[in-house]
């Protein structure tokens, strides 16, 4: 007789917190895919058990508001770690909530984070010269949970084991 086993869920290790500072959105307008906007990234920080870093003013979040209650986010930026390494981050995210809450976020208002579903899956590219300390990030699955504030995005990250 074949017994089906329930697989164990993967474990998570806390990687750290990103605080991404953002400027006012640049509204592109309604496209065939939805409402397009670009949010410039002006700086920020990363802090976690393995190290700290600064987010450089060298990126943006390319948002697509597909419906009044959901958005697809595509953020790209650079984290300069204290040890000299530079991490290029491509962060794909999905954010949804009640229409009135999403519209409040779009207007730059504060919405309690528990009312918004905001999850992401960042991918990290690490320079060849920094492979020793951070190369493992290039071959790891990382997931995150975020919250939007008027002038920043806060994202807690976990590595999937």
pTM for the complete prediction?
Answer: 0.91
Average pLDDT over residues 50-56: 96
Residues 83-136: tens digit of each pLDDT: 999 999 999 999 999 999 998 988 889 999 999 999 999 999 998 775 678 999
3-state secondary structure of 80: strand
CATH of 12-160, one of 2.60.40.3470, 3.30.450.40, 3.10.20.30, 2.40.160.20: 2.40.160.20
**What does pLDDT average to over the chain?**
94
The stretches of 3-108 forming alpha helices (DSSP H) are 99-106
What does the block give as tokens for 76?
A: 């790209």
Q: In Å, what is the CA distance from 111 to each residue of 15, 27, 51, 146? A: 25, 21, 30, 12
Q: What is the DSSP letter of 83?
A: T
* Other Cβ atoms closer than 10 A to 40: 15
CB distance 86 to 57 below 8 Å: no
Identify any residues that bridge with 54 across adjacent strands, giving them in sequence order: 45, 80
Q: Where are the domains of the chain?
A: 12-160
Give residue 2's pLDDT band: very low, low, confident or very high (50, 70, 90). low
């Amino acid at each position: 007789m074949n017994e089906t086993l329930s697989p164990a869920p993967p474990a998570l290790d806390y990687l750290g917190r990103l605080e991404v500072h953002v400027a006012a959105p640049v509204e592109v307008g309604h496209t065939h895919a939805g409402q397009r906007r670009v949010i410039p990234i002006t700086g920020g920080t990363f802090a976690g058990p393995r190290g700290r870093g600064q987010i450089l003013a060298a990126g943006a979040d390319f948002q697509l508001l597909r419906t009044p209650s959901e958005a697809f986010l595509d953020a790209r930026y650079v984290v300069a770690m204290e040890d000299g390494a530079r991490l290029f981050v491509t962060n794909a995210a999905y954010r949804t909530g009640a229409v009135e809450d999403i519209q409040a976020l779009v207007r730059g208002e504060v919405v309690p984070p528990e009312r918004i579903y905001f999850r992401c899956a960042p991918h990290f590219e690490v320079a060849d010269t920094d492979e020793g300390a951070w190369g493992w990030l290039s071959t790891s699955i990382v997931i995150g949970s975020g919250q939007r504030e008027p002038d920043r995005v806060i994202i807690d990250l976990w590595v999937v084991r």
